[in-house]
Chain A
């Protein structure tokens, strides 16, 4: 097992190097560079920039260096200083921008993930075990409705209903008077009263898909002969289903978990915009729109790295769950 993890870790190194090269190429693809857009902006505002300043800035940012020197500077800054460059849209270091939004991003993503799983797994298992029962049909209809209704639509409906009929402010994660307040019990309660809405909205879409996947996986396993063997032992039907088919049905589920991590950062952009959530999704969207190269580049790199890490985690989980992978 440890050998397996070590092998996977070693293989991550070349993958990450290739990813960083591709990310760098992508952020260098648009014509011009950071400085030329910066100067263009200043000139558009009527400020003249003298050649000495320009040269000093070019030297400082190393923009005249060969492309591979720039790449190593960029990467070196990231690795050794945690410096992802500068966002000219926000006039702030990229790392500061992203780090500010990471806690809320992970909070919303983790809560909606836990919500989706805790709702979808039991329902999926139930639907499989009681296939074609009334309960199965009801959950199937609800599931497809959840899949079919776009999230932003659900978000808008929530906003409207809660404001119109309950007089609640549900945009953002905090009430206006708590946004800059220090942490307290009241602020925490305020957070909870706002958090459930994005969690439910983002969760429902995931739930519907997960119910279908779980149902199909468990159905496949329920027909396997080992289930009959376990029945022949006199095992309680409930324990039987949890110990055998559900356990094995989790494998395809776990192997798709690698894509959850990057999805947390980039996902649910539209819902976040509609609900005015301080998460990374809208930031990424804005960076792409305004060609904020270093900010966008940092996202591209981060998403790629998170994908690699996510796949590693799901592989480790899978090896831990399934001895056929671990031992062969």
Chain B
């Protein structure tokens, strides 16, 4: 029997009341993270990828907070917990954060405190969650630095972030996130700030550790090449919603949602068969502001396949449009049926 998803997010909404109205960066996320696999989360800037990651750890930046939905953490051994229902600053949430769910951030320079040694910041994880004494925490931290391939781990324990190169800092960040051997690792664009050769090394490291430790990874990126190389499942986000979710293979071979099709179409390719003077296809328009409240499908103003009278009226729901392939597009009868049922209800 295959175990169920370790994380399942249902109808997750994050918002805040601002001077200009209700800001809603997440508008109902449904997402499952299968156990011990890497899931990719892709989308344009501002679509809510990073907010999803933060909501998962219940660290949405103030004044943003989770307003609806559930995030169930279920390892199949201990009773399931709904993270969305926990107080973000309360002890139960803090006991999970860092120990069972950990996160890697985009900018390894600014994500470390500049005035504390990296050793101090890694050992802190162990001091909080494992009640180790300082000496034991130090030894474990050095082991972690070794594990992520930090040369001279023992000396680097006392180094400050500004003493390390970008790649080394990101390794230290990974060592910190993995210090308590978390079940789920959220990596928010872990390679965006690094140069290309280092990117490859860090991705390999993440893949190796994911397999060795049997971790569940949510990899957030806007780089489709990274998704193709490292993930087994992918969710595509648009404007605070997941619009397509399937296996990586199925997504690249047979994208269902017009948005995904547009994304894949706008990736430049080497040696394109249509000659060199061809223009790179780009998607029309840009992501509408988070305040905009559109009737119908959120993507219809930019969609080349939009049907007037349908897409600008009916709000689509997620539905299975092919085996193991879910999408949120009214052009598929399954989606239309599910959405019409919702409208009627």
Q: Judging by beta carbons under 8 Å apart, are A323 and B115 in contact?
A: yes
* A residues apposed to B, CB below 8 Å: 224-226, 228-237, 243-244, 247-248, 321-324, 327-328
B251 → A minimal CB distance (Å): 28
Answer whether residue B311 sits at the interface, using C-beta atoms and an 8 A cutoff.
no
Q: Mask for B42-54, Cβ within 8 A of A = 1, else 0?
A: 0000000000001
Residues of A within 8 Å of B57, CB to CB, are 231-232
Q: Judging by beta carbons under 8 Å apart, are B111 and A228 in contact?
A: yes
Q: Which residues of B contact A224 (CB under 8 A)?
A: 110
> In whole angstroms, how far apart are the Cα atoms of A224 and B105 in the complex?
12
Please name all residues of chain A whose beta carbon is closer than 8 Å to the beta carbon of B125 when the two chains form the complex. Answer: 233
A11 to B19, CA, bound (A): 54
CB-contact partner of B105 in A229, A243, A324, A327, under 8 A: A229
Closest partner residue, chain B, to A129 (CB atom): B62
Q: Which residue of A lies closest to B59 (CB)?
A: A231
Interface centre among A226, A228, A237 (most CB of B within 10 A): A226
Q: Which residue of B lies closest to A232 (CB)?
A: B103
| Most chain B CB inside 10 Å of its own CB: which residue of A234, A237, A244 | A234
Whether the pair B112, A229 counts as a contact (CB closer than 8 A) is yes
- Is there an interface contact between A234 and B128, defined as CB atoms closer than 8 Å? yes
Query: Is B124 a contact of A235 with CB atoms below 8 Å?
Result: yes
CA distance A226 to B160 in the complex (A): 14
Contact A235 B105 (CB under 8 A): no
A243 vs B120: C-alpha distance when bound (angstroms): 11
Are A225 and B110 interface neighbours, CB within 8 A? yes
Which residues of the partner chain A approach B176 to less than 8 Å between Cβ atoms?
229, 233
Apart from A232-B105, A233-B128, what 15 extra A-B contacts exist at CB < 8 Å?
A: A224-B110, A226-B110, A228-B61, A228-B111, A229-B111, A229-B121, A229-B176, A231-B59, A232-B57, A232-B102, A234-B128, A236-B94, A248-B114, A324-B115, A324-B160
What is the interface size of chain B, counting residues whose CB is below 8 A from a CB of the partner? 33
Q: Is the CB of B115 within 8 A of A235?
A: no
CA distance A228 to B121 in the complex (A): 13
B115 is contacted by which of A225, A229, A234, A247 (Cβ under 8 Å)? A247
Q: Which of A231, A233, A243, A324 has most chain B Cβ within 10 Å?
A: A233
Report if B138 contacts A (CB, 8 A).
no
Shortest beta-carbon distance, B173 to chain A, in Å? Answer: 8
Output the least CB separation between A105 and chain B (Å): 35
Contacts of A237 in B (CB 8 A): 89
A278 to B: closest C-beta gap in Å: 42
Cβ contact within 8 Å between B97 and A232 = yes
| Cross-chain contact A225 with B107 (CB below 8 angstroms) | yes
Distance of A236 Cα from B124 Cα, bound (Å) = 12
In the complex, are the beta carbons of A232 and B59 less than 8 A apart?
yes
Chain A neighbourhood of B117, CB < 8 A: 323
In angstroms, how far is the closest chain B Cβ from the Cβ of A128? 12
With A228-B59, A248-B113, A248-B114 as given contacts, are A234 and B94 in contact (CB-CB < 8 Å)?
A: yes
CB–CB B115/A230 < 8 A: no
Least CB distance, A248 to chain B, in whole angstroms: 6
Provide 6 A-B residue pairs closer than 8 Å at the C-beta atoms, listed in order of the A residue: A230-B113, A233-B98, A234-B93, A323-B115, A324-B114, A327-B163
The residue of chain A having its C-beta at the shortest distance from the C-beta of B110 within the complex is: A225
Q: Which residues of A contact B94 (CB under 8 A)?
A: 234-236
Compute how far the CA of A179 lies from the CA of B103 in the bound complex, rounded to whole angstroms: 66
| Max count, chain B CB within 10 A of own CB: residue among A236, A322, A323 | A323
Contact B111 A226 (CB under 8 A): yes
Complex Cα distance A327/B129, Å? 31
Residue of B nearest to A245 (CB): B113
| Interface membership of B99, Cβ < 8 A | yes
Q: For residue A230, which residues in chain B have a CB less than 8 angstroms away from its CB?
A: 113
A321 / chain B contacts, CB cutoff of 8 Å: 115
Measured CA separation A100–B218 after assembly (Å): 71
Q: Which of B206-259 contact A (CB under 8 A)?
A: none
Name the 10 nearest CB pairs between A and B, nearest first: A234-B98, A234-B97, A234-B94, A233-B98, A225-B110, A232-B103, A226-B113, A225-B111, A229-B111, A231-B59
Complex CA–CA separation, A248 to B112 (angstroms): 12
Question: In the docked arrangement, what's the CA distance between A102 and B107, Å?
Answer: 52
Q: Which residues of B contact A322 (CB under 8 A)?
A: 114-115
- What residue in chain A is nearest B173 (Cβ atoms)? A229
Chain A residues lying within 8 Å of B93, measured Cβ to Cβ, are: 234
The answer to whether A234 touches B112, judged by C-beta atoms less than 8 angstroms apart, is no
Chain B residues with Cβ below 8 Å from A327 are 160, 163
* Chain A residue at minimal CB-CB distance from B97: A234
B95 at the A interface (CB under 8 A): yes
Rounded to whole Å, the gap between the CB of A80 and the closest CB of chain B is 44
B332 within 8 A of A: no
Q: A232 and B98 in contact (CB under 8 A), knowing A225-B107, A244-B113, A248-B114? A: yes
